[in-house]
Structure 1
Amino acid sequence: MAPVSGHAQLFKKKNKKKKSEIQGFVLEEGVTPEERQKALERQLVSPVRKMLNRFNFQIEKSYGYFAYQNPLEGVSVIRNPRNDLLYLVPLGEETGTNLPATGYTNWFNRLETTTIDYIDDDSQIVRTDTASFAYSNSGRYNPLTLRVSLSLKKLDRGHFERTGEKRYLDDDLIRVGGGIGFGAMKFRHPSSEQDVDPILRRYSLPETKLSTTKLFGSVSYNFYSLGDFSMLADVYGGVWKIKASQVNKEQVTYDPFFNVGLMFQTTFSKYFKGYIRPSFEMRSYTLADDAISMPHKFTMFSIDLGLLLKYPTYPRNRYVANQVQMEHVFNGKMYRGRPFYKKQNPRYGQNRVRRKPGGSFFPIIKQKKSKKGSGKGN
């Protein structure tokens, strides 16, 4: 009976082992390749770095030109030839029956008034309801702009059609963000001019340089990519203002501004990009009180030079950076072997490994030369 019981126990053990193998196989089959890849990424890649990598930091320096227009409506423009005083009065108050009247001598950055007791007969008067009257000027605008945006990546459609697995490329499809800009509008001429009446001539500007600040939201869409080159439609808009000491805050009202640009981008690495962005921008503000309203309009054209930086997904490997240039696993973590501004994952070594003098290779040469020289001497 002993042999029979021994065979029975052996049979039971084999069945138990077989059952565990079947269970293990079923459990392994339940894990999809996508889940396995995500588990591997969680083990090798820092989730904080992966999240920060989705954001972009952009810095832009612009070199531009603006055209300025000050259309006058609802007023009469008057110049007194005896004291060369140029001023505005509301329509209808330029007649002698309405005197004394309130005249405006500054309608550019703060409404400054003077009392008009008498209008000379030889004063030049133009009513803006009978002629289209506008003062114009131009100047330079070279702002510095900082932006932060969130990237939505392009889907690798070819890989998705072949495998059904969603994999995203390094190229951005859409960037959504916002920023802040600083810059001064410097007028080219100290006086604005008009071409309606030569006697009214020029209007001298109280300020020839306006310091401005802007806050905005932006959207960029990548509509064309070829290798390291991309073209993006870039639009942003928001609010802006002039430095408080240069304008009367109680009288000024700012209209929202908008900016449309086309971004020509080149990729130095997936963490570092550069671009040139021709752009067009519209701004305006209005000075007003109970009697008059003065609009001021700016049309800007600029070329923006920008850099875009991303936080690297993988840290730099300080131990083997001069040997391994590709992204690689080291001590259970994912590392990059290249600086952030150089391309990652080259198919072949982009930089030849150079050994320093005094290394393992050079002493062999020196040793051979010394032996050869000693032979000649003997």
Structure 2
Amino acid sequence: MRHKPVFFLRRYTPILALVVLCLACLPESAWAQYESESDASIPLENFYIKRQGISGFRRILSKVTFGLSTGYGNTTFKHDLKGYGILQNPDSVPKLFPGNTVGTGYSKWVNKITPTGNTVQAGAFLANSDTTKLGFKGKSFNIPIKATIHVEFDRYRIGAGYSFEYTHMGTFKPTNYGDRISAFNTDFSSFFLKKYFGMIGGTVYRYNEYLLVIDANIGGYSMGKNFDKSVMQKGVYLNIGAAVEREMSEYFRVFVRPSYEIKSYKITPPEGGQSITNKFNAFYVNVGVTYRFPELRRCFLKTCKAQMNHAHGNREYRSRVHPIYKKQNPHYGENHPNLIKYKGKNKRKLSPY
């Protein structure tokens, strides 16, 4: 009995050698992955087909990120009336006059600068910018709706965007002679501010799933029909912000972005003369989300419950049941990362099962 293994090897050694020789002579393709399902002549559950790569268009598209946000803004309207004087008649709104020409008056210089005649009444107060710095200042608030699109390269990003803002006008108060010059309100209570811009920025710090992003928006704006475009000269505006982003998944982020914005415009009387510069810088706090196009297509099989990236045949797909707001481990899905025995009242049981 103890010599049977030795006898077996001696008897069948030539046959085993022949089998090994035949296997060595098989073509290389017999051991490699199949390029397509049509090349497979044996069941696919035993041999893998070589997976198709991600298309170039899909790979480029996966670099594109969309963003949508809203929030709150506080705008300070302020203008310097250098080259003008102020006439304050009793029980009347203040009016401007150029230089020392008191008889030539202007009103609505925030948005139109309408010529009006001045009449100096008894008890009127006159002030000139030659002796004192004159101007008015008003607070407004904004509710923005902002959409962006950008492309990310490593930690850098470049893109464009559009913002539509409801702006409520406040009361303008004099910066000097507050006891002699009255405040005034514009002839409109609100307007819609439209902004279009390019953006550039980058990630400067990361802590786990949190990112600190510094970026700038540079572009133009339109202030609506309440402003006379024919007497306005607008420049570009600059918005600089620092966003804190939280990665909910590889495609989806939420963020909060405080920012400060610098912008101004000039209004010139129709007949010419000294321009009035109106500054309306603003501070914003935006909250929103961003979404990046996935590299992989969504799984076509409605009954498929796989939570991680997986393959059907020679094509790879992403899960159709994994929510975009949950980060996915590359090795297994995380819809339910905690087992039932670690949840709720089961945590206090010695044997939850």
- Same-fold call, TM > 0.5? yes
The 1:188–1:123 alpha-carbon spacing in structure 2 relative to 1, beyond 3 Å, is closer
Alignment of 1:358-377 (within 5 A): none
2:292 maps to which residue? 310
Displacement of 1:213 in angstroms is: 0.5
1:27-42 equivalences in 2 (<5 Å): none
Secondary structure of 1:224's match? strand
The yes-or-no answer on 1:326 pairing with 2:327 is no
Deviations 1:265-305 (A, max 9, x none): 11111111111111111121111121232221112111110
RMSD value, Cα: 2.4
One-letter amino acid of the structure 2 residue matched with residue 277 of structure 1: R
2:10 is aligned to none
Q: Which runs of 5 or more structure 1 residues have no equivalent in the other structure?
A: 1-17, 22-39, 95-100, 154-172, 354-378
Task: Say if 1:312 and 1:340, in contact at 8 Å, map to a contact too.
Answer: no
Post-superposition Cα deviations, 1:145-198, rounded to whole Å, max 9, x if no partner, equal 111111102xxxxxxxxxxxxxxxxxxx01100111000221243x43433242
Assess, with a 3 A threshold, how the Cα gap between structure 1 residues 349 and 178 changes in structure 2: closer, same or farther: closer
1:195 matches 2:176:
yes
Q: Can you list the C-alpha shifts for 1:311-333, whole angstroms capped at 9, x where unaligned?
A: 11111224387542221222111
Q: CA deviation at 1:85?
A: 5.0
- Are residues 196 and 268 of structure 1, via their aligned partners in 2, closer, same or farther at CA, if it must alter by over 3 Å? same
Corresponding residue number in structure 2 for 1:206: 187
Match of 2:264 among 280, 284, 289: 284
Q: Give the stretch that moved more between structures: 203-212 or 129-138.
A: 203-212
Aligned partner (choices 79, 89, 104) of residue 97 of structure 2: 89
Corresponding residue SS for 1:107:
coil
Alignment of 1:67-106 (within 5 A): 67-81=76-90, 84-94=92-102, 101-106=103-108
Deviation per residue, 1:25-49 (Å, 9 max, x gap): xxxxxxxxxxxxxxx78x3323322
Q: Secondary structure at the match of 1:44?
A: coil
Alignment partners' CA distance in 1, 2:196 and 2:336: 47
**What SS class does the counterpart of residue 76 from structure 2 fall into?**
strand
How does the TM-score come out when normalised to structure 1?
0.70
Q: Spell out the pairing of 1:117-132 with structure 2 (5 A cutoff).
A: 118-120=119-121, 122-132=123-133
Q: What is the CA–CA distance in structure 2 between the aligned matches of 1:102 and 1:351, rounded to whole Å?
A: 74
1:336, CA displacement in angstroms?
1.0
Q: Does 1:342 align with 2:326?
A: yes
Partner of 1:293: 275
Alpha carbons of structure 1 residues 216 and 352: separation in structure 2 relative to 1, 3 Å: closer
- One-letter amino acid matched to 1:88: L
The 8 Å contact of residues 135 and 203 in structure 1, kept in 2 or not, is answered as no
What is the Cα deviation at residue 111 of structure 1?
Answer: 1.4
Q: Equivalent of 1:261, from 220, 241, 249?
A: 241
Counterpart residue type for residue 296 of structure 2:
Y
**C-alpha spacing 1:197/1:352, structure 2 compared with 1 (3 Å):** closer
Q: Percent identity?
A: 23
Q: Paired residue for 2:140? A: 139
Q: Tell me whether 269-278 or 313-322 shows the greater mean CA deviation.
A: 313-322
Q: Using a 3 Å threshold, how does the CA distance of structure 1 residues 80 and 44 change in structure 2: closer, same or farther?
A: same
Map Cα deviations across residues 215-236 of structure 1 (whole Å, 9 max, x no partner). Answer: 1010121111122111111111
Q: Determine the C-alpha separation between the residues in 1 that align with 2:185 and 2:168.
A: 14
Residues of 2 paired with 1:219 and 1:175: CA distance? 6
Conserved 8 A contact 1:174-1:222? yes
Cα distance, 1:78–1:53 mapped onto 2, change above 3 Å: same
Number of residue-to-residue matches in the alignment: 287
| TM-score, with length taken from structure 2 | 0.75
Deviation beyond 6 Å, 4+ runs, structure 1: none
Q: Are the equivalent residues in 2 in contact too, given 1:44–1:332 (CA < 8 A)?
A: no
Q: Is 1:65 matched up with 2:74?
A: yes
Contact 2:328–2:334 under 8 Å retained in 1: no
Q: Which residue of 2 aligns with 1:4?
A: none
- Looking at structure 2, the residues matched to 50 and 184 of structure 1 have their Cα atoms a distance apart, in angstroms, of 38
Is 1:107 the counterpart of 2:91? The answer is no
Within 2, Cα distance between the matches of 1:137 and 1:85?
A: 15
Q: Relative to 1, partners in 2 of residues 1:322 and 1:200: Cα closer, same or farther, differing over 3 Å? A: same
- Greater percentage in helix: 1
Structure 1 residues 305 and 214: CA distance shift in structure 2, 3 A: same
Distance 1:352 1:132, change over 3 A: closer
